Structure 1
Amino acid sequence: MAGKGDQFSGLTVALVTPFKDGEIDEQALRDLVDYQVEQGADCVSPVGTTGESPTLSHGEHEQVIAIVCEQAAGRVKVVAGTGSNSTREAIRLTKFAKSVGADGSLQVAPYYNKPTQEGFYQHFKAIAEEVDIPIILYNIPGRSAKNIEPETIIRLAEIPNIVAIKESTGSMDQASHILAGCDLTLLSGDDSLTLPLLSLGGSGVVSVVGNIVPQDVKALLNAFAAGNLEEARKRHYKLFPLCRDMLSLATNPIPVKTAMKLLGRDLGEVRLPMTPLTEEQTASLSKTLTTYGLL
């Protein structure tokens, strides 16, 4: 289905944030961007959930966005995570992202403070009015503690520069309600639900597993777009165990960072309160990577 944010359709990779000796590893981050350009990603999204945004200082948050925008240099779109549970802070970060060349802003539902539906509406409306940049809403009640209801999302879709939604509720009914009620471009926020959401009219995915196998995620999207459902299903079932491990073994991004290390792409530790996988979990992940054909 055509939507108002179709420039963000396809594969967006939710980038991990590399660390070295407790600091941001700038060279590794630049290499990550180059890798995604080479692999054919349509877009990269720094400092989202996968980028460990909750443990980055405001300065580091800006540093990562600036580095990714500079390294992308127009070769791939950049949708920067600039959400906050403080509307003022979200506006400040979004202004910064625009100033360094981000193509769009990923705006997570304000977490912890659990706004009313009117609060959600006024929060996103204020950001959209303050910063003239395409905005992708990000609804993930499992982390933010409250759902942005479909009626609120449909209402927000009337604001010109709110163009898309990253849908991470896991609810096909919620996705159907949104797609039936407005022209927002809908992107899967769960790798394992990409194909089901495409079948409803979704336009792509903001992918964690794309850090590891971007070409395979892209191949699934391309197969579906070409009308080759059998190929798309085959791709889905190959990817499924890997997608499952990224979320079920431990909290994202612990498994994806571990997987990249196992594959010889060590991007450093996860920051507390995130902790490494246990030996047993690492062995399980290693088995999945081997079965997939990566190890």
Structure 2
Amino acid sequence: MDKNAIIGAMTALVTPFKNNKIDEQCYAKLIQRQIDNGINAVVPVGTTGESATLTHDEHKACIEIAVEVCKNTKVKVLAGAGSNATHEAVDLAQFARDCGADGILSVAPYYNKPTQKGLYEHYKAIAMSVDIPVLLYNVPGRTGCDIATETAIDLFRTCENIYGIKEASGSIDKCVDLLAHEPKMVLISGEDAINYPILSNGGKGVISVTSNLLPDRISMLTHRALEENYKEAKQINDELYNINKILFCESNPIPIKTAMHIAGLIENLEFRLPLCPPSKENYAKIQEVMKQYNIKGF
């Protein structure tokens, strides 16, 4: 494994709001909490960070804050830098590089449903525009676009700085297929419920939603698996099953931000429309499941 791969336990950061603006002070505190609880990298402005409804200036501000908080620590910044317009994705990637991010996470273009050829050219253009590591991000349930295994492997073999893929398709078969045909490619889990199966199949890390709430447990799960202590890793994954499931009872990041508000980690339960707070029923369910876990504060 090379290409300066960013691996291990990583958190897909939520973006806290206050009066419809980014709560920058809270955001910095949340990142510091991740650092203090054993996370290897933070991922600002991925889809969990409501990147689709942030302005470009807000998007860039989140990356800057993450880089500043992580400076002089061992925690890396894998900046969300995706778009359904290639020129916008290139601009975000170059900004992330210029402000000191260690790498970028680039979601597959959403809505416009490019062909595999279009995906290949999109990612090749992004990779060629920067000299930092690039992680592909496949989440077809949200984008309506699936990065085929063959396309991912072609990109890995063609572009020196594309080191792997975050797989959030929910398909274990696809994960097995990928590593069976290109074992040097880094596979990162993007589905908390199946973190353990992906890690035990050769995955090199996770980008977790749950770790916004429980960074210490996700960190331990990931590191135990990477140490090949699969028995303990599975035990932790099983313990986290209930919280992993409830955090997707509505569209992400509605449940995780709700859980963090209940835990006192974010002051305001604010979303950017069209996202909105959960139903009363789901709020109560999230609150009840959270009682099963020891959630560390600041």
Interval of TM-score (by shorter of Structure 1 and Structure 2): over 0.9
Aligned to 2:290: 289
Q: Kindly indicate whether residue 210 of structure 2 is the aligned counterpart of residue 209 of structure 1.
A: yes
Aligned to 2:198: 197
Return closer, same or farther for 1:116/1:186 CA change in 2, 3 Å cut-off: same
Contact 2:224-2:232 at 8 Å conserved across structures: yes
Aligned to 2:243: 242
RMSD of aligned Cα (Å) = 1.4
Q: Offset at 1:234?
A: 1.1
1:137-164 deviation line (CA, Å, top 9, x unaligned): 0000001102111010110011100012
Aligned to 2:64: 66
Q: Offset at 1:226?
A: 3.1
Q: Which runs of 5+ in 2 are unaligned?
A: none
Aligned-partner SS, 2:235: helix
Aligned to 2:41: 43
Distance 2:267 2:3 in 1: 32
Q: Offset at 1:212?
A: 0.6
Q: Offset at 1:223?
A: 2.1
Q: Offset at 1:228?
A: 2.6
Q: Which amino acid aligns with 1:184?
A: M
Distance 1:6 1:14 in 2: 20
Distance 1:22 1:80 in 2: 22
Aligned to 2:22: 24
Q: Which amino acid aligns with 1:60?
A: E
Return closer, same or farther for 1:5/1:204 CA change in 2, 3 Å cut-off: farther
> 1:118-129 maps to which residues of 2 (within 5 A)?
118-129=117-128
Aligned to 1:253: 253
Q: Which runs of 5+ in 1 are unaligned?
A: none
- Report the count of equivalent residues: 292
Aligned to 1:92: 91
Q: Which moved more, 1:174-183 or 1:107-116?
A: 174-183
Q: Offset at 1:6?
A: 6.4
> 1:208-227 maps to which residues of 2 (within 5 A)?
208-227=209-228
Return closer, same or farther for 1:267/1:69 CA change in 2, 3 Å cut-off: farther
Aligned-partner SS, 2:272: coil
Distance 1:32 1:294 in 2: 13
Distance 2:105 2:230 in 1: 30
Return closer, same or farther for 1:33/1:294 CA change in 2, 3 Å cut-off: closer
Contact 1:121-1:152 at 8 Å conserved across structures: yes
> 1:2-21 maps to which residues of 2 (within 5 A)?
3-4=1-2, 7-21=5-19
Q: Offset at 1:293?
A: 4.4
Q: Which amino acid aligns with 1:134?
A: P
Aligned-partner SS, 1:8: coil
State, as a whole percentage, how many aligned pairs show the same letter.
Answer: 45
Q: Which amino acid aligns with 1:141?
A: P
Q: Offset at 1:270?
A: 1.2
Distance 1:125 1:137 in 2: 11
Return closer, same or farther for 1:219/1:124 CA change in 2, 3 Å cut-off: same
Aligned to 2:135: 136
Distance 1:124 1:211 in 2: 28
1:3-29 deviation line (CA, Å, top 9, x unaligned): 335642210101111111110111111
Distance 2:5 2:85 in 1: 28
Distance 1:151 1:228 in 2: 31
Aligned to 1:280: 281
Q: Offset at 1:70?
A: 1.2
Aligned to 1:271: 272
Contact 2:104-2:132 at 8 Å conserved across structures: yes
Distance 1:5 1:168 in 2: 22
Contact 2:213-2:295 at 8 Å conserved across structures: no
> TM-score when scaled to structure 1?
0.96
Q: Which amino acid aligns with 1:281?
A: N
